[in-house]
DNA sequence: CGGTTATTTGACGGGTATCAAACACCGTGG
DNA sequence: CCACGGTGTTTGATACCCGTCAAATAACCG
């Protein structure tokens, strides 16, 4: 059994995969899990590696990326504390279809697929939780595709800000959770375009100071990025 | 119980969701299902509708689309015979995150979520099959995002042709399964760009006559669209 | 404080969307 | 059989979004 802080245990219990389970059920699933610590820009797995484990983020951020032969990369998604990833690949027993890198210093829980599968056989509701978790992933990806196809770069940035604003404390400011270059790639644009997009959004009441973004007029911004 | 032709029963049995199940298990799941027939361009459900059923395609093609306020649409994916869709949304019991339209005349099986859920409780392996099916969907979407972010329009068209070529009989020709406009939207480009892309690909040994595409030199084309 | 990395800014070119018109395809009805 | 309207595709002209390259600036860190 791994050693987790109280805060970390709360994170685990709150994750979609485990939310519906009792503390002891979680204990069973975590039995024999590895706790791994990785440093900034370190690789967790490469595309094509045999997928034997999935991950739960406790601290830091992980980016899932796809590379092309020329070396440029596309960030598919970024996972933070409380989120799980690579469940699907691990579960299918195939190989990872993407690569994973730590953006920050990270603490991660490695979930053994074997244990997970075994538990599903015994406890069908774990399967339901897993289905729910994967359904959420699906929805995220579907929205991302729609955004890429329907919105301009500026609108995607605006949309990103608005989404974060909903989780914000004061409803007026957000802060960028990680570097702009990574953010740009996640939104499907170059770092330069992202920088310019931010500047252009000042027309709609967006002010940037360091890593803090102040949205003077959320409605105006929402009207510009009319989506969903 | 619905009335299916032999061919259709074979389609059902071969679908990822049901592949691992016995004929009688399938019978249980299909019990009380509706068989629906829709005509070209008819809507199956709209984004925001309560998601009560998922679908299995028997005949024809269905497109899942997202609209923006200006009326332009993005095709997220197209499903043909033997494929299932909307499982995730139906399963979560929420609302459909996208809209669905028939491209052709279609015959579809409506799967009741209630039945599916009940069976999962009794038979965990159905849950595994469902997880596998959703994992496959996830992988498709992930690849689509990577393609949109990393490839040019021409490369996406080339890549599409190559993928279809692998399923081709003779390994030299394919035919477009549906209209070019829909195809273009699926690949994330306008119909005009798609048309021009096809023309430009003649430089790499792609010849078009009507709906038939002849690939004179698959290797050359693959070298151009170097991906995966 | 120096050296490295991240971000911004500018200039430029190319890829794509958009608009418009010409054209091909197709089932219908005269 | 051919005319014909509707739909879908192609082609051309144009504009602009956005990526790339290069340089300047800022932020970071030991």
Gap from B192 CA to C23 C1', Å: 14
User: pLDDT band at A153, cuts 50/70/90?
Assistant: very high
Whole-model pTM: value is 0.93
Judge contact between B77 and B64, C-beta under 8 A: yes
What is the pLDDT averaged over residues A37-63?
Answer: 95
Cβ contacts of residue A222 below 8 Å, gap of 6+? A162
> pLDDT of B5-52, one tens digit each?
888 899 999 998 888 888 888 888 888 899 999 999 999 999 999 999
Candidates B66, B87, B226, partner chain A, best to mutate (most A CBs within 10 A): B66
pLDDT of A108 higher than 90: yes
- Across the interface, do B135 and A88 touch by the CB < 8 Å criterion? yes
pLDDT of B121 higher than 90: no
> pLDDT of B62-115, one tens digit each?
999 999 888 889 999 999 999 999 999 998 889 999 999 999 999 999 999 888
Query: What mean pLDDT is reported for chain B?
Result: 92
User: pLDDT band at A1, cuts 50/70/90?
Assistant: low
- Helix, strand, or coil here: B78? strand
- Across the interface, do B135 and A98 touch by the CB < 8 Å criterion? no
Structure confidence at residue B1 (pLDDT): 62
CA B117, distance to chain mean position in Å, is 23
Residue with more model confidence, A48 or A228: A48
Structure confidence at residue B21 (pLDDT): 84
Candidates A88, A130, A185, partner chain B, best to mutate (most B CBs within 10 A): A88
In angstroms, the separation between the Cα of residue B155 and the nearest Cα of chain A is 12
> pLDDT of A155-194, one tens digit each?
999 999 999 999 998 889 999 999 999 999 999 999 999 9
pLDDT of A13 higher than 60: yes
Q: Any bridge partners for residue B174, and if so which?
A: B213
Helices B124-150 and A124-150: crossing angle, nearest 10°? 20
Nucleotides of D under 7 A from a protein CB: 8-13, 17-22, 27
pLDDT of A228 higher than 80: no
What is the spatial distance between Cα B116 and Cα B31, in angstroms, rounded to a whole number?
Answer: 11
Residues of B in contact with A66 (CB under 8 A): 142, 146, 149-150
What is the pLDDT averaged over residues B192-215?
Answer: 95
- Across the interface, do A131 and B135 touch by the CB < 8 Å criterion? no
pLDDT of B128 higher than 90: no
- Across the interface, do A66 and B134 touch by the CB < 8 Å criterion? no
The closest CB to that of B134, out of A138, A144, A148, belongs to A138
DSSP state of B33: P
Longest Cα–Cα distance of chain B, Å, equals 57
């Amino acid at each position: 059994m791994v050693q987790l802080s109280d805060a970390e245990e709360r994170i685990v219990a709150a994750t979609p995969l485990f939310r519906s389970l009792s503390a002891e059920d979680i204990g069973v699933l975590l039995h024999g899990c590895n706790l791994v610590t990785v440093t900034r820009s370190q690789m967790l797995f490469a595309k094509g590696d045999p997928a034997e484990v999935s991950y739960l983020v406790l601290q830091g951020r992980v980016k899932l990326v796809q590379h092309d032969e020329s070396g440029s990369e596309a960030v598919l998604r970024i996972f933070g504390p409380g989120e799980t990833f690579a469940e699907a690949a691990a579960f299918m027993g195939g190989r990872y279809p993407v690569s994973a890198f730590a953006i920050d210093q990270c603490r991660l829980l490695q979930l053994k697929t074997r244990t997970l599968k075994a538990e599903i056989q015994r406890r069908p509701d774990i399967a339901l939780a897993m289905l729910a978790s994967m359904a959420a992933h699906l929805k995220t990806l579907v929205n991302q595709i729609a955004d890429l196809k329907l919105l301009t770069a500026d609108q995607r940035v605006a949309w990103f800000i608005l989404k974060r604003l909903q989780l914000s404390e004061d409803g007026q400011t957000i802060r960028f959770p990680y570097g702009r270059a990574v953010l740009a790639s996640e939104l499907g644009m170059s770092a330069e375009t992202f920088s310019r997009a931010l500047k252009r959004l000042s027309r709609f009441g967006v002010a940037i100071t360091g890593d803090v973004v102040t949205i003077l007029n959320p409605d105006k911004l929402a009207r510009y990025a009319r989506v969903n």
